[in-house]
Structure 1
Amino acid sequence: MLIAGTVVADADTVIEDGAVVTEGSRIAAVGERADLAETYPDHERREADIVAPGLVGGHVHSVQSLGRGIADDTALLDWLFEAVLPMEAAMDADATRAAAELGYLECLESGTTTVLDHLSVHHAEEAFEAAVETGIRGRLGKVLMDHDSPEGLEQDAEAALAESEALIREYHGAADGRVRYAMTPRFAVSCTEECLRGCREIADRHDGVTIHTHASENEDEIAVVERDTGMRNVLWLDEVGLTGPDVTLAHCVHTDEAEREVLADTDTVVTHCPSSNMKLASGIAPVQDYLDRGITVALGNDGPPCNNTLDPFTEMRQASLLGKVDAREPTRLPASTVLRMATEAGARAAGFERIGALREGYRADLIGLTTDLTRATPLHDPLSHLVYAAHGDDVTFTMVDGEVRYADGEHVGIDAAAVRERATRHARRIGEEAGVL
């Protein structure tokens, strides 16, 4: 396929009248439209006003999609333990499948082609099946909780780790490598040392399995970890082996100098979730400081109950504006930096190679957007438009691994209306069972 338009190949490269040629699951060429049209005359053609790399959700909770709006305007630990976790505990296999499908369809139609997805304790296989079916690229993991957790979610560490290994054997590398596994302990508050160390041991045993957890999102969380371990959160995670180039820590809002040194020295990835951090009043992550230290920082939406949307364009805009306000400096987190966080840094967070940019030999993960909008007029700078003005509903098509998964308002091979109907029905039922509706 030859896809023509203004090509934003990466955060530094814009081809005003360009094209991207895909062959199978790979990008065969990127360049000027006229040159590629002559070289590839027989390829199917598609037009878009802007062609860009697929965006990466560096921290999402697809299975929380059924909880959108259930616990607005609530403090983090109350939000988590009184609303979100009871909802997760009430979810059966059918509800989990509907929630994951709903989340992945929202991502695909909003321009997200890859997710790093923190699932729930039970029925994780349903989300893996949904990822395979919907065509999204994803690194997913069953959540582990073996300490101080709500009824229905707390598991014995040995059993939880064994279940994780079974899922690795079944799904790691599924769909021709498009679906992969991450060990996902919920966070240090709800996991014993045995559980956390066990996650590291399993990741080390299985080639390509990574680790994905939450850290230092909220001051109350940090206080609990320090009370229980005598160490601040990131230092404790480092102690039990949960730092390193194969680890992505979501949030990292409240870190001290020693913790930031550990993050940099161990090459641990951080995912910034600005909308969630603002809505839960968690604080402002020191993103510029992380970047200055050479720490890779990706972008994530977190879950629909603490964001209400999985739109990646919202997170890019929020990240840039929040960084400027935090520093009282308008040059901080410019559009190019933020787009890189949402693409190439996100690829690193999710543990996928050769995605996050439009380059020859890379995976054919790309999106097209319309600029036939009042909001896009005039359009002086395509990169600026993507970060500051574009919305997820500007996306006209989404391609993953060379397959168009969403185009012109329709999902390919998936009955989106049926997914929405099932998700609504399950959401009402489990909300009532959990006592949050």
Structure 2
Amino acid sequence: MLLSGTVVVDAGTTIEDGAVVTEDDRIVAVGERSKLLERYPDHERRAFDIVAPGLVGGHVHSVQSLGRGIADDTSLLSWLFDHVLPMESGMGAEAMRAAAELGYLECIESGTTTVIDHLSVHHAEEAFEAAIELGIRGRLGKVLMDKNSPEGLQEDTDEALGETERLLERYHGSADGRIKYAVTPRFAVSCTEACLRGARELADTHDDVRIHTHASENPEEVETVREETGLRNVHWLDEVGLTGEDVVLAHCVHTDESERELLAETGTHVTYCPSSNMKLASGVAPIPDYLDRGINVALGNDGPPCNNTLDPFTEMRQASLLQKVETLDPTATPAGTVLKMATLNGARAAGFERVGALREGWKADVVGLSTDAARATPVHDIRSHLVFAAHGDDVAFTMVDGEVLYDDGEHVGVEADRIRMRARELAANIDGTRR
């Protein structure tokens, strides 16, 4: 397929009248449109205003999609223990499948082609199957919770780790490598030391497995960990082995100097979730400082109950504007930096090679966007437009691994109306968590 338009090769390079040529699951050529039309005269041709790399959701909760809007105006621990965890504990396999499908639909139709997905304690296989079926690229993991957890979610440590290994062996590397595993403790508050150390052991005994957890999102969480362990959150995670190049920590809002040094020294990845941090009044993550230290920062939406959308373009806008307000520096986190967080940095955190840019030999994860809207007129700078003006509903085309998943407002090969209808039905039956 030959996809033409203004091509965003990566966060720093664009081709005004360009094209991207894909064959099977790879990009075979990127360059000037006229030259590629001559070289590839028999390829199917599609034209868009903008052709860009698929975006990467560096921290999402697809299985919370049925809870969109149930827990507004609460702080983190109340949001979690009074609302979201009760919802998850009441969800059976059918609801988990419907929620994951709904979440992936939203991602695909708004330009997200890769996710790092923090699932739930039970029925994680439903999300894996949904990801395989819908075609998204993902690093997924069953949640581990073996202390301080609600009835129905707290597990025996050995059983939880055993189920994790079973899922890992079944799904890691599936769908021709499009689906990979992340060992996923919920966070230090709900996991024993044995559980956290067991997570590290599982990751170490399997190739290319990541660890994905939450850290230092809220002052109350940080204080709880300190009271239980005598250490600040990131230091405790380091003590039990949960730092390093294979670890993705969501949030990291409340870290001190020593923790930031540790994140940089260990090569631990951080995912910035600005909308969630604002909505839950968690605070503002020190993103410019992390970037200055060489810490890889990805961008994530978090979950629909604390966002309430999985639109990556909305998240990019918030990511930049929040830092400008926090630092009183209009140059903080410019558009190119944020776009890199949402593409190459996210792919690096997720552990997918040759993903996050439109380059020859890289994976064919491509989105096409329209600028046929008043807010997209004029477009003086493509990066500025994508970060500050574009919306997910500008996406007209989404390709993952060379497969067209979304085209001209329609999901390809998926009964999207059925998924949305079933999700509404099941959401109506969730035990009321809004207090």
Q: Please tell me whether residue 299 in structure 1 is matched to residue 296 in structure 2.
A: no
Question: SS in structure 2 opposite 1:396?
Answer: strand
Q: Do 1:366 and 1:400's aligned partners in 2 also have CA atoms closer than 8 Å? A: yes
d(CA) in 2 for partners of 1:348, 1:192: 29
| Alignment partner, residue 28 of structure 2 | 28
Question: SS in structure 2 opposite 1:253?
Answer: coil
What amino acid sits opposite 2:388 in the alignment?
Answer: Y
Q: How does 1:259-338 map to 2 (within 5 A)?
A: 259-338=259-338
1:48-92 CA-to-partner distances (Å, cap 9, x unmatched) read 100000000000000000000001011110010000000000000
In the TM superposition, what is the alpha-carbon distance from 1:436 to its structure 2 partner?
3.7
1:351-400 CA-to-partner distances (Å, cap 9, x unmatched) read 11100000000000010000011110111111110000000000000000
In the TM superposition, what is the alpha-carbon distance from 1:35 to its structure 2 partner?
0.6
RMSD across aligned positions (CA): 0.7
In the TM superposition, what is the alpha-carbon distance from 1:350 to its structure 2 partner?
1.1
| Alignment partner, residue 131 of structure 2 | 131
| Alignment partner, residue 382 of structure 2 | 382
In the TM superposition, what is the alpha-carbon distance from 1:159 to its structure 2 partner?
0.2
| Alignment partner, residue 66 of structure 1 | 66
d(CA) in 2 for partners of 1:431, 1:316: 33
In the TM superposition, what is the alpha-carbon distance from 1:245 to its structure 2 partner?
0.2
d(CA) in 2 for partners of 1:416, 1:425: 14
In the TM superposition, what is the alpha-carbon distance from 1:272 to its structure 2 partner?
0.2
In the TM superposition, what is the alpha-carbon distance from 1:322 to its structure 2 partner?
0.7
Structure 1 stretches of 4+ with a deviation exceeding 2 A read: none
d(CA) in 2 for partners of 1:429, 1:105: 21
TM-score by length of 2: 0.99
1:127-172 CA-to-partner distances (Å, cap 9, x unmatched) read 0000000000000000000000001000011000000000011100
| Alignment partner, residue 5 of structure 1 | 5
Q: Please tell me whether residue 251 in structure 1 is matched to residue 236 in structure 2.
A: no
| Alignment partner, residue 358 of structure 1 | 358
In the TM superposition, what is the alpha-carbon distance from 1:428 to its structure 2 partner?
1.2
| Alignment partner, residue 166 of structure 2 | 166
| Alignment partner, residue 397 of structure 1 | 397
Identify unmatched segments of 5+ residues in structure 1.
none
d(CA) in 1 for partners of 2:378, 2:434: 45
d(CA) in 1 for partners of 2:294, 2:322: 20
| Alignment partner, residue 46 of structure 2 | 46
Q: How does 1:174-185 map to 2 (within 5 A)?
A: 174-185=174-185
| Alignment partner, residue 101 of structure 1 | 101
Q: Do 1:87 and 1:436's aligned partners in 2 also have CA atoms closer than 8 Å? A: no
d(CA) in 2 for partners of 1:219, 1:351: 30
| Alignment partner, residue 431 of structure 1 | 431
Identify unmatched segments of 5+ residues in structure 2.
none
The number of equivalent residue pairs is 435
| Alignment partner, residue 228 of structure 2 | 228
What amino acid sits opposite 2:323 in the alignment?
Answer: G
Question: SS in structure 2 opposite 1:353?
Answer: coil
| Alignment partner, residue 408 of structure 1 | 408
TM-score by length of 1: 0.99
| Alignment partner, residue 212 of structure 1 | 212
Identity %: 74
d(CA) in 1 for partners of 2:382, 2:225: 44
Question: SS in structure 2 opposite 1:430?
Answer: coil
In the TM superposition, what is the alpha-carbon distance from 1:349 to its structure 2 partner?
1.3
d(CA) in 2 for partners of 1:91, 1:319: 32
d(CA) in 2 for partners of 1:138, 1:353: 13
d(CA) in 2 for partners of 1:350, 1:65: 21
Q: Do 1:111 and 1:395's aligned partners in 2 also have CA atoms closer than 8 Å? A: yes
Question: SS in structure 2 opposite 1:431?
Answer: coil
1:256-278 CA-to-partner distances (Å, cap 9, x unmatched) read 00100100000000000000000
In the TM superposition, what is the alpha-carbon distance from 1:431 to its structure 2 partner?
3.1
